[in-house]
């Protein structure tokens, strides 16, 4: 959690290896250290590119999901899951899996054959991000303000979809401004970020404190 400009989305992009970010340090994932910055060799950078992180089980649900004209949702997921699992799934096999997940998320089945996010409402785009997560079965799912712009019904549907995917084998990093999604999902730990730094950590009560008091006290402490 954190105010606008605190570095939450930057953190998500760095974790996924967005090439626009120049960083230094390391990330440890599944016992493997991803070396970042100038100390990394070209081979190390190649090994831990965004595509490799996706195959290794990292997933990012975007704050603003983009349209991809000309690529249907089913085709997109068929290619993505085949790369993720190392198995060449057929479109038919994938369609059956997608239809089950769409039904659980309250999505219209006709969306499966439309171009990815093209003409989708804001709520449909966010449901689609959760659908992708359900199909790809990542081991670390990063949700970058997936709750933003959702009405109460859509928020509940998205939160229920996330809750169904929770397991001891799957970790979630939920990035949000507000406590409201945490009415449906109980976090193990809450971090408050200000100016790129974690300034306080605690349990669910910390999110309620943020909701009640705002971020000013945390920003003042940082100064």
- Taking the alpha carbons at both ends of the chain, their separation in whole angstroms is 18
This prediction's pTM: 0.86
pLDDT of amino acid 81:
92
For 11-58, write each residue's pLDDT tens digit: 999 888 887 876 677 777 877 776 666 666 655 544 677 888 888 889
Mean pLDDT (the chain) is 86
92, pLDDT greater than 50: yes
d(CA 169, CA 126): 23
Assess whether pLDDT exceeds 70 at residue 8: yes
What does the pLDDT read at residue 97? 87
Instruction: Fill in the DSSP letter of residue 181.
Output: G
| Model pLDDT, residue 153 | 84
Identify the weakest region by mean pLDDT among 10-24, 63-77, 115-129, 158-172: 10-24
> What number does CATH give the domain 8-222?
3.40.50.300
Q: Which helix (H) or strand (E) holds 171?
A: strand 171-175
Q: What pLDDT, in 10s, does the model give residues 205-223?
A: 999 999 888 998 888 776 6
**3-state percent helix, strand, coil for the chain, nearest multiple of 5:** 45, 20, 35
Least confident span in 33-37, 79-83, 106-110: 33-37
Residues 128-147 have pLDDT tens digits of 898 999 899 999 999 998 88
User: What's the confidence (pLDDT) of residue 223?
Assistant: 65
CA dist 160 to 75, 101, 150, 186, Å? 25, 12, 14, 12
Rounded Cα distance between 9 and 21, Å, is: 12
In the chain, what percentage of residues exceed pLDDT 90? Answer: 35
Exposure b/e, 94-108, CB count within 10 A at least 16 = b: bbebbeebbeebebe
In the beta sheet, which residues pair with residue 5? none
Alpha-carbon gap, residue 36 to 48, rounded angstroms: 9
Evaluate whether 111 touches 124 at the Cβ level (below 8 Å): yes
Kindly report, residue by residue over 57-68, the tens digit of the pLDDT: 899 998 888 899
pLDDT the model gives residue 25: 72
Least confident piece of the model among 69-78, 148-157, 170-179: 148-157
């Amino acid at each position: 959690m954190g105010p606008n400009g605190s570095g939450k989305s930057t953190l998500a992009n760095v974790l996924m290896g967005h090439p626009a970010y120049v960083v230094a340090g390391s990330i440890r994932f599944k016992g493997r250290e991803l070396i970042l910055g100038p100390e990394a060799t070209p081979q190390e950078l190649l090994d831990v590119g965004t595509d490799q992180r996706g195959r290794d089980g990292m997933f990012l649900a975007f704050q603003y999901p983009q349209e991809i004209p000309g690529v249907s949702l089913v085709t997109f997921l068929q290619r993505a899951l085949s790369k993720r699992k190392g198995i060449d799934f057929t479109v038919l096999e994938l369609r059956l899996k997608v239809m089950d997940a769409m039904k659980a998320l309250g999505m219209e089945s006709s969306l499966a054959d439309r171009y990815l996010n093209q003409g989708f409402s804001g709520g449909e785009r966010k449901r689609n991000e959760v659908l992708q997560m359900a199909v790809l079965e990542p081991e670390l799912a990063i949700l970058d303000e997936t709750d933003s712009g959702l009405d109460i019904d859509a928020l509940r549907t998205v939160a229920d979809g996330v809750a169904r995917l929770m397991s001891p084998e799957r970790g979630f990093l939920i990035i949000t401004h507000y406590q409201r999604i945490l009415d449906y999902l109980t976090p193990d730990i809450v971090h408050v970020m200000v100016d790129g730094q974690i300034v306080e950590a605690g349990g669910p009560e910390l999110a309620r404190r943020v909701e009640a008091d705002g971020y000013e006290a945390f920003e003042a402490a940082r100064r």
